[in-house]
Amino acid sequence: MSENFRADGRTPNQIRPLRFQNGIAPYAAGSTLIEWGNTRVICGVTIEESVPRWMKDQKITGGWLTAEYSMLPYSTLERKPRDISKGKLDGRSSEIQRLIGRSIRAAVDLEKFGARTICIDCDVLQADGGTRTAAITGAFVALSLAVKKLMAEKKILETPILAGVAAVSVGIVAEKALLDLCYTEDVAATVDMNLVMNSRGEFIELQGSGEEATFTDSQLTELLALGKIGIRDLLAAQQAAIAQG
């Protein structure tokens, strides 16, 4: 099998083209449109000058960070009904937004936000695999831009960000370990895994499973090595985007 057998010509250890368009939502404290291959997600951060009631009741100091995730009806080939039309959030969306929240909270010192709630909204405009990893990667950029704004306005005196955070998918397709699966690869994968890591090289979350298949220690090692390559590239792209403001 040739090194560039993938449909889009990438090598096994290459992520899809990545671009951030900052300031996509002018009323947000920080926002970016992450375009990752054919997946596009708007990530916006709003800040509320209060904390949830449960924090007050439990006398917990500092701030809170929460996330919401949704796929717009036209983001997929077949229309995806809005959750509100079904009267409840579907299980997949609920799982992903909890993942985004956990991932980004691991990147910050909530105490340094003061008594504020940081709300991250991730809305998928177009889905071609990796929407959750794109949402996490874009959310960190949007949060960093919001933090820069808070500091410029002297609302906080030091950055609450502890480390960069990014996420990427890996998988085994046709017995080959691949980095950053597009939709057709994701569907064909016998093993599918998502990695969330910080810039210190630490894992925040691993989500992996065999799709009616199993995988070995050596395959897991190969997938993790590929994932670390992708995370390194993503962290560098994030920092370039944040520097541009």
* Residue spans per domain, the chain: 18-244
- pLDDT level of residue 1 (50, 70, 90 thresholds): very low
Cβ atoms of residues 43 and 138 within 8 Å: yes
Closest CA to 165 of 202, 128, 193: 202
Amino acid at 39: T
CATH architecture assigned to 18-244: 2-Layer Sandwich (3.30)
More confident residue, 172 or 89: 172
pLDDT in tens, 167-205: 999 999 999 999 999 999 999 999 999 999 999 999 999
pLDDT in tens, 144-155: 999 999 999 999
- Find the mean pLDDT for residues 7-19: 94
The pLDDT, as a whole number, for residue 73 is 87
How far is residue 176's CA from residue 172's CA, in Å, rounded to a whole number?
A: 5
Residue 85: helix, strand or coil by DSSP? helix
- pLDDT level of residue 211 (50, 70, 90 thresholds): confident
Residue 191: helix, strand or coil by DSSP? strand
pTM as predicted: 0.94
Which DSSP letter does residue 23 get? T
